[in-house]
Chains A and B, each alone.
Chain A
Amino acid sequence: MANLKTCVFSLCMVALTPTVAVAAECPEGYPDGPITFRVGYGAGGGTDAVARKVASLIEEQAGWTVVVENRPGASGGVMATELMREDADGSIVGVASNTTLAINPWDNPDTVYTYEDFRYMGTGMLLNYGLVALKDKPYDTLEEFIAAVEEMGRGTVSVGAASHEIAVRAIADHFGVNLVPIPGKGSAAALQEALGGHVDATVQSTQHVPQIKAGKMVQLATLTDTRAVYAPDVPTLKEEGLDVSIEGHIFFMLPKDTPDDIHACLSETLAEATSSEAYGEFMAKLETEAMNMGPDGTRDWLEEASAFYKESLSGEQ
């Protein structure tokens, strides 16, 4: 049974929907209190929205109390540093992004952790980064864009995160053109500059999808391994012959010394939430995919991504 507060505030939706049987195997007596999701970003962002959705699904499915707290700062770095010092009893779960775990350690001199300092329950969402441009611009594909940049001498691409910037530099290197990443305060600001025509293109994850649907923007290339759900006809960078893949993931993580049984219990509980129908619908609304790589898959992905960003960032500085 969900706790009373949730019941009151969601107008007893919980009581009306049939409860899914708890399948995760959890140690006796766990959890013995509320579980806290500590989100490394502020309220209102994508990571926060996913954490809250997963929390509410776990409350429904497992009957636990899950409190969501925001601990923003340094792209999740403040939260991750704190999480290292917490008790490894499964009472606190960190929610972070690929920037927190794969980029911060190599980009910020004050970061004291790497991805190896945590255990992972899995991931919640795949962000299909894409290179997009205004429909009015005289290019609709990556080739045409590169040709146009060659002609202009230089091209500007607004970006909202360090990984986007790395992608832009990789594209510029590969095709031998002068692409200048224009750093901004985030994806929304980057999108705004592109919509106003102040830059030649931008790197976006999901916020530009309504613009594509409205026919105002075109996706020049998809930066992930697989094609984006919202742009199935647009090839990926790998298909274009450039062996670079920039993906966004949302990670659920635990202190390193968390016992195996609790880790297994939480990972299974997360997997149940992310594979639920309600979660799938939520992801479809966000124009992305519910992708849970599982505890081992997450670790492997991070190992690879971490190595890639370490190399990219050491070359740049």
Chain B
Amino acid sequence: MLPDPSLITNGLVEAFTLSNLLFILAGVAIGQIVGATPGLSIIMALAIAIPLTFGFDTLTAIAFLISVNKGGTIGGAVPSILINVPGTPESAATALDGHPMAKKGRPLKAMKYALYYSVTGDFLSDVVLILVAAPLAVVALKMGPIEITALMILAFTVISGLVGESLLKGLTAAALGFLCASIGLDPGTATPRFTFGMLELYDGLELTALSIGTLAMSEILYNIVGARKGKPSAAPIRVSGGTRSDRTVTFREYLANRYVALRAFVLGTSIGAIPGLGSTTAGFLSYSVTKQAARDPEAFGTGDPRGIAASETANSAVVGANLIPLLTLGIPGNIAAALLVSAFMIHGVQPGPLLFEEQGNLIYGMFGAMLIANLCNLAVGQVGMRFWAMIVSAPASVVFSGAMLLCFTGSYVIAGGVFGIYVMIGSAVLGYLMRAFGLSIVAFIVAFILTPELEGAIVSSRLITGDDPWAILSHPIALALLALSVVSIIYLGPWRRTPGAQEDPEKT
């Protein structure tokens, strides 16, 4: 099944032209900037970039768009680490350990960890895509509604590592996320639920507006509310200073988390290869599994590099793996991939089973471009982090008011006008209150993202099997996943926690 090596080298050669290199570099830089800006989403960057590529040749266009996407996954980690305001929802799990590490005076080190592991995950999943896309896609197709139901149940059992210090409160937060996910048309009969006559709510609460609100804006509000008179605000984080080891990541330190990174990569690639899930889920699940499986789960949340490695490797691994169903089946795995499909179509290429035969040169050229983009990502990231560090050396008042305006404007542009702003404000207040009362925002968001998948899969399963629960016996993959859920509850469950841990209202 392995492709001919000469095809791959040809592709690399094809991709290696000056104009391609420049566009890849530009794409990566744009992606990183957009990703690092709270309130802007990578989806928006892609939607804007697609019309710009009308005049490019096909390979350049696709290479540029993929570079934007790759840059975005790296950029998002920057504000998560520096100011605890995630630039993109998928990097929210990075904030859990990245920000504490930055607060301890090691922001550059945290950003470097994020960059290296992100590029690692991205690179490895690209290799998987290049070598075994077709067989993997066939396996992914075996995941029907019944298997997806089981997979979602497994995912819910795994998120226990995200519930915060109090299991009850974590579950309450998840239940709220579960409830919010049911707003809009239901998956079975398409009748409105909790829409109160507003058409804007038919498609549910917009994830972008909701995550900007709960994750980013609530943190901004927290800082604004916490400001006091007569105490001029300092920079949110002290970037310079510290010893050399506070600013760099040695190769030994990088390798120390290789097993964590490897597991995160496998998780991210598997989630990416199955259409419908996404990088946010991957980052959180990987973080949660790593924390629960660790011998010392209480070290997480205090600036542990394993937390950064788990989150960043997994969310970046999704990016390459997402192209697996796209290229082999023509099925986009998430919105970013759907935008790539339309870019392909505009350039007259229809993704599907014949793509590799009909457009072999283009596809291997694209693979070449992806590998180049990873290197560019590393280079741009190295330079970029100094730039971001400079920006956050402004007083917190400027940084947070600027971030606030970006979130305000971003939710207007992304999430359908003024209505999007109201959703964002509402979720920001919810996020603020949840934070104040120790309810995990992360558990809320993950439940919000997973629930529609679960509900859709359950409805389809019941319809397909004619509501016969015993039908599951003829689905071995689903049975295995359910067995794994039980194992996960027993071995990764919250009872492994050290008892008597104090609650920290600042931690989410």
Contacts and interface: CB of A to CB of B under 8 A. Distances in A.
A–B contact (CB under 8 angstroms): yes
Interface of A: 9-11, 13, 42-45, 48-49, 52-53, 56, 68, 70-75, 77-78, 81, 107-111, 154, 156, 158, 162, 180, 182-185, 188-189, 191-193, 195-199, 207, 209-211, 213-214, 216, 281-282, 285-287
Nearest to A209: B350
Interface stretch (B86-94, B108-116, B331-339, B387-395): B331-339
Contacts of A43: 43, 46-47, 50, 339, 342
Contact of A183 (B325, B345, B348, B459): B459
B466 A154 contact: yes
B183 interface: no
A183 B355 CA distance: 28
Interface stretch (B198-206, B306-314, B489-497): B198-206
Interface in B108-126: none
Interface stretch (B74-82, B140-148, B221-229, B367-375): B140-148
Interface in B413-454: 416-417
B338 A74 contact: no
Contacts of B200: 73-74, 78
Contacts of B203: 72-74
Given A74-B185, A196-B142, A196-B144, 12 more contacts: A13-B54, A13-B55, A44-B342, A52-B50, A53-B346, A110-B192, A156-B463, A188-B275, A192-B325, A210-B330, A213-B352, A285-B348
A49 B463 CA distance: 33
Contacts of B459: 183
Q: SS class of chain A's interface: helix, strand, loop or mixed?
A: mixed
B329 interface: yes
Nearest to A154: B466
Given A10-B55, A44-B341, A285-B350, A107 B331 contact: no
B197 interface: yes
Interface of B: 43, 46-47, 50-52, 54-56, 141-146, 185, 187-190, 192, 195, 197-200, 202-203, 275-276, 325, 329-332, 335, 338-339, 341-342, 345-346, 348, 350-355, 416-417, 456, 459-460, 463-464, 466
A110 B199 contact: yes
A196 B350 contact: no
B456 A110 contact: no
B51 A56 contact: yes
Nearest to A186: B338
Contacts, number: 153
A154 B464 CA distance: 10
B466 A193 contact: no
B464 A156 contact: yes
Nearest to A216: B353
A162 B355 CA distance: 30
25 contacts: A9-B54, A44-B47, A44-B338, A49-B346, A53-B346, A68-B51, A72-B203, A78-B199, A78-B202, A78-B416, A107-B190, A108-B199, A183-B187, A184-B187, A184-B456, A188-B275, A189-B276, A192-B325, A193-B460, A197-B144, A198-B145, A211-B330, A211-B352, A213-B352, A213-B354
Given A78-B200, A210-B353, A182 B464 contact: yes
A156 B463 CA distance: 8
Nearest to A10: B55
Contact of A188 (B189, B331, B353): B331
B199 A81 contact: yes
A78 B189 CA distance: 20
Nearest to A215: B353
Contacts of A42: 335
Contacts of B190: 107, 162, 183
A104 to B, nearest CB: 9
Contacts of B351: 210
A188 B54 contact: no
Nearest to A109: B192
Contacts of A107: 190
Contacts of B145: 182, 193, 198
A102 to B, nearest CB: 15
Contact of A192 (B52, B331, B345, B354): B331
Contact of A44 (B55, B188, B335, B456): B335
